[in-house]
Structure 1
Amino acid sequence: MFLIAGAGLLAGCSNSSAQNHPSPSGPSSAPPSSAPPSSAPPPSGTPSSDTPSSAAPSVTTPPTVTSPAPSTSPTVGLPAVRSWAPGPGEIEPEVKRLAVAAVVKLLQPNGARAVVEVIDAQYGGILSDSASVLVPCRVYSIRANRLISGGTTVDVRLSRSPQGTWRVTATHPAQPGAPVASLSAAARQVLASEQISLPPASAADIRSGQVHDSVLTTMLELAKTYRIGISVIRSGHPIDVFGTDRPSDHPRGRAFDTWQINGRAVVSPSTPRSLVTSYMRTAESLGSYNVGGPYQLSGTAFFSDRTHHDHVHAGFRS
């Protein structure tokens, strides 16, 4: 189920038309002639000698009318988006490259007036012979000369052959659920925050009312110090912790993943380690019992592994 154009995601275009209003000249009367009679026939509109001047016919100039210009609407075009490519610091970059290509093909069929913007590609799990790549993205399309903005997050599953070749085996688009009529104050604040960047599926998760306030209030507190880019909250994440039978906190609305802090990707080697570790410690101080990231910190709440080298995970018990 893809997220196509929800409330607040529709960008309309305006139709403009240029119209020249007709300004006809009114009828005008030629003055009576004072010239003496002539043997030549009088000019049209000039009274003859036997026509009283008071009854002289008038000369009427037909009004000049400018036809209105046809109404025109500017043709709406698709925005230019940057192609996603794995950068330095990635583990198994070919896995992510294959996953992103599969998502773009899934959401942008041949011939459709649509373009896919990949926000990020993070691991939902990476093992020696299998992987889950979570791809949050926006989708722009043209309908009735309007630009429609939507998107989804796709959980792409891959497997590795004995020869070492990776291939895509399945794609699972997010299913965030229908929006609820009433949201908590924290939910409304997160959706309105300029410090928190939400992909479409995560915003829909919040609108569905299925995200716990512990997650939302932590985001709001972090946003007082950091600009944060969220990759996944609830939908689009594996049901179980990848490679295990332990339920993940994400589908229960009790976790969120951060792929970007202050405009810097967690996975990038150029992102200061201190920025990531301070963010992890702040998340723990705000109530997260399970904080994962690229660095192993001291304390029972922290963990690090290959899956979490590209994002910070924060989980909550309630």
Structure 2
Amino acid sequence: MLDRRGFLVASLAIAAGVATGGCARSRGSSATDPGPDRALAQGSSPSPRATPAASGGVPGSSDSSGLSAGAEQLPADEPATALGEPTLPVVEPWRPGPYDVRPTLKAAAVALVTAAGTWGPGSPQLVGRLRAAGFDGLDPATVWALDRPPRAGPRAAAVAQVVVAQYGGLLARSASVIVVVRQTIADAGELRTRDATWDVRLAGDPMRVTAVLPATPRPAAAGLSNAAREVLASDRLQLPAVARADVAAGFVGDPLLHVLLGLAARWPLAVSVLGAGHPYRIFDKPAVSDHSRGRAVDIWRVDGAAVVEQGPKVDQLMRAAAALGAYQVGGPRDLGPRSAPYYTDPVHQDHVHVGVRP
């Protein structure tokens, strides 16, 4: 099992942000120089080996989920599976992608998730773990979902694997980092998994974590469209638990679901967020986001490669989305021409935003 030392997460330096908007079309606005953090990410040394949480590694990865295909499709609280003497999985330490903007902001969000979701016998209570990780001013009630369950046994332990950390918005003195995390709990000879999506907010100069907005899964609908059933049954679309709940609730419109199915027919895709878990409004504007209307999706991985790696299939994905009728396609590059739906900014270096009209 895990010792006390393995759960103390070092405080992370949090850098100031760059001026840009949220997840919405912003053609014509200047993409601010992301500053030295990007150069640091491009020139960083290779990532260390995967480290068990017991040895103090910070779980998670922005460009490799560390999970088997389809693992993100499990419900928010998976039934326990008897495995004899359980062994917690080895987690992949989060590391920035080669084109990540302001990676220290994402690292702060990842450290928070790790502190809340990694615990074991002898580890501090939630407030103590947050304090040790440098989040002593944060309301623990906002992150209790990953804490020790009330009925957990005395030798229960858990590790948190960050599936993806992407921007939901980025301004000069405020930011939103959307973190999808899978937690594995070992208790009484069984392993249990549960998923969560958090909108981690940062603000100030320098920016620090100020709030957490946990996503709440929507209740399932009595009946679903054919498109919704196809999306939920597809083995080529990996969706976090709250995104699956959005589809199962009938919240996501068929026009967007048809675009997703069309894209998935060409490449296996991993979705980071649909509605729940994304900022309700466009981050720098009063307008309600298309995500909040069931009309937009963020895709963080295409054919096994993270968007933040900015490989050739990212451009192909963006062009295919436009060809399928999307009126907004945000990503790492503005593919033009000016009449086309493409746009780019620092927020969209790590995912492709696809928005449709109703």
Matched residue pairs, number? Answer: 250
1:156 to 187, 200, 219: 200
2:163 to 119, 127, 139: 119
Pair 1:83-2:93 in alignment = yes
Residue 297 (structure 1) aligns with: 335
Residue 174 (structure 2) aligns with: 130
Percent identity over paired residues: 42
Tell whether the 8 Å contact from 1:138 to 1:200 is kept in structure 2 after alignment.
no
Counterpart Cα distance in 2 of 1:187 and 1:116: 29
Higher relative contact order (CA 8 A, sep 6+): 2
SS of aligned partner of 1:121? strand
Q: Which has the higher helix share?
A: 2
Counterpart Cα distance in 2 of 1:179 and 1:114: 28
Pair 1:208-2:249 in alignment = yes
1:101 partner letter = A
Counterpart Cα distance in 1 of 2:175 and 2:92: 25
Pair 1:280-2:309 in alignment = no
Residue 353 (structure 2) aligns with: 313
2:82 partner letter = C
Q: Report deviation, 1:11.
A: 5.1
Counterpart Cα distance in 2 of 1:7 and 1:131: 26
Residue 147 (structure 1) aligns with: 191
Residue 79 (structure 2) aligns with: 10
1:293 partner letter = G
**How large is the RMSD of aligned CA atoms in angstroms?**
2.0
Q: Report deviation, 1:190.
A: 1.3
Residue 238 (structure 1) aligns with: 279
2:240 to 199, 202, 224: 199
Q: Which structure's CA Rg is the greater one?
A: 1
1:95 to 85, 90, 105: 105
Tell whether the 8 Å contact from 1:138 to 1:199 is kept in structure 2 after alignment.
no
Residue 57 (structure 1) aligns with: none
Residue 116 (structure 2) aligns with: 106
1:177 partner letter = R
Q: Report deviation, 1:146.
A: 2.7
Cα distance, 1:311–1:6 mapped onto 2, change above 3 Å: closer
Counterpart Cα distance in 2 of 1:317 and 1:81: 39
TM-score (norm 1): 0.74
Counterpart Cα distance in 2 of 1:184 and 1:240: 27
2:207 partner letter = W
Matches within 5 A, 1:167-206: 167-206=208-247
Q: Report deviation, 1:213.
A: 1.4
Q: Report deviation, 1:143.
A: 4.5
Matches within 5 A, 1:52-67: none
Tell whether the 8 Å contact from 2:176 to 2:200 is kept in structure 1 after alignment.
yes
SS of aligned partner of 1:284? helix
Counterpart Cα distance in 2 of 1:10 and 1:263: 28
Q: Report deviation, 1:251.
A: 1.6
Tell whether the 8 Å contact from 1:133 to 1:155 is kept in structure 2 after alignment.
yes
TM-score (norm 2): 0.66
Q: Report deviation, 1:185.
A: 2.0
1:292 partner letter = G
Cα-to-partner distance string for 1:2-41 (whole Å, 9 max, x where unaligned):
x9x8489435226xxxxxxxxxxxxxxxxxxxxxxxxxxx
1:216 partner letter = L
